[in-house]
Amino acid sequence: WMVSWFKREFGLREQKLAEQKGIEPEALFDELVNAVPPGSMGLMLQPYWSPGVRQPGPEAKGSIIGFGDVHTRAHVYRAILEGLAYALKEGKERIEKRSGQAIKRLRVAGGGSQSDAAMQLTA
């Protein structure tokens, strides 16, 4: 949801350019991610924006913290992906704890899997 929100609100340029070039927009969004160092220069995102989020609890709200005058939309996009990656890691650890089994292999599908940068960041 957050990636779709970002693309809708801040990614019109990449979407139009991708259409003109006949390429997937994710390739251009990957360029945004790769232009920003890991950690997004202190910009952090808590990915609790989606309705029905159960963890950490119903009171949780999404937030982006650490804004400064050095941050651009590329930083926001990378912070979104980094926040989602941490949430996925937290979910993986919760599953392993409940099941008593280590997850040794993951498979990905869907929109996010089209982004090399998102896959590398999540790995």
**Residue boundaries of the structural domains of the chain:** 2-122
What DSSP letter does each residue of 61-103 carry, written as one string? --EEE---TT--HHHHHHHHHHHHHHHHHHHHHHHHHHHS---
Share of the chain above pLDDT 70, in %: 93
pLDDT in tens, 2-61: 888 888 999 999 999 999 999 988 889 999 999 999 999 999 998 877 666 666 677 777
Q: Is 3.30.420.40 the CATH classification of the domain at 2-122?
A: yes
The closest of 87, 85, 75 to 41, measured between CA atoms, is 75
pTM of the entire structure? 0.85
